[in-house]
């Protein structure tokens, strides 16, 4: 594709010509023009695909030039350069069919993005004009996807996949005399990111796909925000070196991040699904490894899985933050535990997801216990998933913040919100000493006032309430765990097991042993 730069200021004109490696972007840079009139003289012979022009020039301005160019070349893509004072004119230019506009203060990366967008627009127009070619491309992409993902196909029968075979041969992946023989190939999954705004996610994928096609003997398709690359492979380290070099060039060219997962090298079309399946397993580790790098099975095969359940210490830390309504500290806590998981050399995506889900469950169970005395239906626990483009700590923090806000919003609707906070604190510290003075201090009240309001709101004295909560917790532990009675006594704040048993029988109607036996069935 040809690009023509137009500006009557030599420093800007030459700067745009030299600061960007146009050839690396797949563009042929035509000699720059210094006026609209010069452009109109050259248009018939040079026929640029993209015109990058200043909006204010002596003589004809950029908007007038755009209108004239469109009359001669309707499909040309035009990008306007504007200053802050020309913003109104830039909007007018968009109405005249201009593709995009950029501030003159824009850096090279913004210019590259605008040109990439123009390139894709041109490609779409040309493909639409060649409907038959588009249909053929869609068919071969669909067939290739079906071949790779169709239930782990292992058959050597390729009769119905001739468009795919032709495609592979045309792009150097397959030679004509080695369709099912010893032909080294592999599937590589590539994710592209780093341009920030979500609006550019498809653009960056398309641009990376185009560059990979130019640099490698491969065919590609985009599926689920991932580029699937079927690549002619060299045996051993040469293949990885070729891949690394191509990925480096694309990263430098597009100023983006690339994550690549390379499946095993196979030697026939019938084995390609195996390579795809292996690449898919490796690609799942993007959530652990980050958005850059090239990985193979050897990088993950020794991982046995990290923790799947949060510890009691982490649970206490979390609930303390939720009770106290500490959003900033909660964010710092989520960052710390995510970092600990990512640095675990045994961590796997499955184990990490289970671990984070356990944290979400802990938070929602706490919310159910502490929403109000006499509670409503349990809240639905959301499933923690790894969404593309979403940072783990941001998603975990968002879900935990929702729980914290829901609890404190409900508490604030109560006349005595601090009593709800005190109850939540008590339930979270049943394994510790809980004096009236201590809990009153947590909610910043004098012990006498707190004791009076607490009894009025709960219908129970402070000591009676705490003792009942301890016994209810002990009862749940007796029924849901195999822990010894002495251990359970310690978990609800009693060192003297005999005294614990007396209190338990007084409130629950039987000794701990009798309670466990009578509820076995």
We report the CATH number of the domain holding residue 87 as: 3.40.50.2300
92 close to 84: Cβ distance less than 8 angstroms: no
Query: Of how many residues is the chain composed?
Result: 521
Using pLDDT thresholds of 50, 70 and 90, give the confidence band for residue 152. Answer: very low
**Same domain, residue pair 266 and 168:** yes
Number of CB atoms found within 10 A of residue 464's CB: 13
Number of domains in the chain: 4
Rg of the chain over all Cα atoms, to the nearest angstrom: 33
Which residues on neighbouring strands pair with residue 81, listed in sequence order? 54, 102
pLDDT digits (tens, 9 = 90+) for 266-312: 988 888 899 999 999 999 999 999 889 999 999 999 998 888 999 88
Are residue 481 and residue 507 in the same domain, yes or no? Answer: yes
Give me the CATH number covering residue 487. 1.10.10.60
- Per the CB < 8 A criterion, the answer to whether 169 and 176 are in contact is yes
CATH classification of the domain holding 149: 3.30.70.270
Tell me which DSSP letter residue 206 carries. H
pLDDT, position 139 = 80
486: pLDDT strictly greater than 60: yes
For residues 505 and 511, is the Cβ–Cβ distance under 8 A? yes
Which of 64-68, 85-89, 498-502 has the least mean pLDDT? 85-89
Model pLDDT, residue 373: 45
332-339 LR contacts (CB < 8 Å, sep 24+): 334/393, 334/396, 334/397, 334/400, 335/393, 337/310, 338/392, 338/393, 338/396
Other residues' Cβ atoms within 10 Å of the Cβ of residue 71: 8
Q: Say yes or no: 192 and 312 in one domain.
A: no
Q: If pLDDT is split at 50, 70 and 90, which confidence band does 331 have?
A: very high
- Among 40-49, 103-112, 126-135, name the most confident range: 40-49
**Is the pLDDT confidence value at 179 over 70?**
no
Backbone angles phi, psi at 379, to 5 degrees: -75, 150
Name the residue with higher pLDDT: 502 or 408. Answer: 502
Integer Cα distance of 487 and 492 in angstroms: 9
- Can you give the pLDDT at residue 151? 45
Pair 440, 482 in one domain: yes
Q: How far apart are CA 403 and CA 39, in angstroms?
A: 62
Portion of the chain with pLDDT greater than 70, in percent: 88
Domain match, 120 and 224 both: no
Minimal CA–CA distance to 239: which of 176, 185, 159, 298? Answer: 185
pLDDT for 376: 52
Q: How far apart are CA 289 and CA 224, in angstroms?
A: 19
Amino acid 129: pLDDT: 66
pLDDT tens-digit map of 390-400: 788 888 999 99
Residues 436 and 485 both lie in one domain:
yes
Poorest-confidence range of 137-146, 155-164, 355-364? Answer: 155-164
251 and 350 both lie in a single domain: no
Residues 173 and 111 reside in one and the same domain: no
Same domain, 284 and 342: no
Name the strand (E) or helix (H) holding 419. helix 417-428
Q: Which residues are CB-contacts of 220 (< 8 A; sequence separation ≥ 6)? A: 209, 212, 213, 227, 228, 229, 230
Helix (H, G, I), strand (E, B) or coil at 225: coil
467 and 325 in a common domain = no
Q: Of 129, 152, 185, which marks where a domain is finished?
A: 129
> What's the average model confidence in pLDDT over 113-125?
86
Nearest 5°: the CA angle 122, 123, 124 is: 90
Q: Give CA–CA dist 197/199, Å, rounded.
A: 5
pLDDT above 90: percentage of residues in the chain: 28
Q: Report the mean per-residue pLDDT for the chain.
A: 84
DSSP letter, residue 200: G
pLDDT band at 357 (very low <50, low <70, confident <90, very high): very high
232-273, pLDDT tens digit by residue? Answer: 887 666 778 899 999 999 999 988 899 999 999 998 888 889
Phi and psi of 451, rounded to 5°? -60, -40
Residue that finishes a domain, picked among 373, 398, 413: 413
Last residue of one domain, picked from the residues 413, 444, 467? 413
284 vs 16: CA distance, rounded Å = 40
Considering only residues 187 and 369, tell me which one the structure prediction assigns the higher pLDDT.
187
Residue 234: phi and psi, rounded to 5, are -100, 150
Mention every residue, 6+ apart, whose C-beta is less than 8 A from residue 513. 485
Residue reference for tokens 């079927």: 230
pLDDT at residue 372, as a whole number? 52
Distance CA 164, CA 160 (A): 9
**Maximum average pLDDT range among 84-98, 363-377, 436-450:** 436-450
**Comparing 145-149, 199-203, 353-357, 386-390, which segment has the lowest mean pLDDT?**
386-390
Question: What average pLDDT does the segment 15-44 reach?
Answer: 90
- Find out whether 395 and 325 touch, Cβ atoms under 8 Å: no
208 and 271 assigned to the same domain: yes
From residue 255, alpha-carbon distances to 230, 250, 251, 515 in Å are 24, 8, 5, 66
Bridge-based pairing of strands 218-223 and 226-232 is: antiparallel
Q: How do residues 374-390 score in pLDDT, each as one tens digit?
A: 445 666 788 888 876 67
Q: How far is CA 361 from the centre of its chain?
A: 21
384-414 burial code (b ≥16 CB/10 A, e <16): beeeeeeebbebbbebbbebbeebbebbeee
Local structure of 79: helix, strand or coil: strand
**Where in the sequence is the domain holding 492, given as residue range(s)?**
416-521
> Is the Cβ–Cβ distance between 411 and 443 less than 8 Å?
no
Q: Give residues with Cβ within 8 angstroms of 493, minimum separation 6.
A: 430, 431, 432, 433, 434, 470
Q: What is the pLDDT of residue 380?
A: 78
Rounded CA-CA distance 204/209 in Å is 8
Tell me, yes or no, whether 253 and 372 share the same domain: no
CA distance 410 to 367: 10
């Amino acid at each position: 594709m040809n690009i023509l730069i137009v500006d009557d200021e030599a420093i800007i004109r030459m700067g745009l010509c030299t600061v960007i490696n146009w050839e690396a972007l797949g563009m042929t840079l035509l000699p720059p023009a210094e006026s609209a009139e010069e452009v109109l003289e050259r248009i018939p012979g040079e026929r640029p695909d993209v015109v990058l022009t200043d909006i204010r020039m002596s003589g004809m301005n950029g908007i007038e030039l755009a209108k004239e160019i469109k009359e001669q070349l309707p499909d040309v893509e035009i990008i306007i350069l504007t200053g802050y004072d020309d913003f109104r004119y830039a909007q007018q230019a968009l109405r005249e069919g201009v593709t995009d506009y950029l501030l003159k203060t824009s850096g090279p990366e913004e210019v590259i993005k605008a040109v990439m967008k123009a390139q894709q627009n041109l490609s779409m127009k040309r493909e639409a004009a060649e409907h038959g070619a588009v249909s053929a491309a869609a068919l071969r992409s669909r067939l290739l996807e079906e071949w790779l993902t169709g239930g782990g196909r292992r058959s050597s029968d390729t009769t119905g996949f001739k468009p795919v075979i032709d495609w592979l041969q045309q792009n150097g992946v397959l030679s004509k005399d080695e369709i099912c023989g010893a032909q080294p190939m592999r599937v590589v999954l590539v994710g592209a990111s780093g341009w920030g705004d979500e609006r550019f996610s498809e653009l960056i994928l398309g641009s990376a796909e185009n560059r990979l096609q130019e640099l490698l003997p491969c065919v590609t398709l985009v599926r689920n925000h991932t580029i699937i690359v079927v690549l002619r492979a060299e045996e051993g380290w040469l293949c990885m070196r070729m891949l690394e070099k191509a990925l480096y060039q694309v990263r430098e060219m597009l100023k983006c991040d690339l994550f690549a997962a390379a499946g095993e090298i196979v030697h026939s079309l019938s084995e390609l699904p195996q390579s795809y399946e292996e690449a898919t397993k490796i690609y799942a580790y993007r959530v652990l490894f980050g958005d850059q790098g090239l990985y193979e099975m050897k990088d993950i095969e020794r991982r046995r899985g990290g923790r799947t359940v949060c510890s009691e210490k982490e649970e206490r830390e979390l609930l303390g933050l939720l009770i106290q309504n500490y959003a900033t500290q909660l964010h710092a806590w989520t960052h710390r535990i995510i970092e600990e998981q990512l640095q675990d050399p045994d961590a796997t995506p499955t184990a990490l997801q289970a671990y984070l889900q356990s944290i979400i469950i802990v938070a929602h169970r706490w919310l159910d216990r502490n929403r109000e005395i006499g509670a409503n239906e349990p809240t639905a626990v959301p499933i923690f998933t790894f969404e593309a483009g979403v940072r783990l700590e941001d998603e975990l923090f968002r879900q935990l913040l929702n729980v914290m806000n829901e609890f404190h919003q409900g508490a604030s609707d109560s006349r005595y919100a601090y009593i709800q906070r005190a109850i939540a604190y008590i339930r979270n510290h049943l394994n510790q000493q809980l004096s009236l003075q201590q809990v009153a201090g947590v909610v910043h009240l004098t012990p006498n006032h707190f004791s009076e309001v607490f009894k009025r709101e709960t219908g129970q004295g402070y000591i009676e309430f705490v003792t009942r909560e301890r016994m209810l917790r002990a009862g749940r532990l007796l029924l849901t765990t195999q822990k010894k009675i002495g251990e359970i006594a310690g978990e609800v704040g009693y060192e003297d097991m005999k005294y614990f048993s007396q209190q338990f029988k007084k409130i629950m109607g039987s000794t701990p042993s009798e309670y466990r036996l009578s509820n076995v069935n």
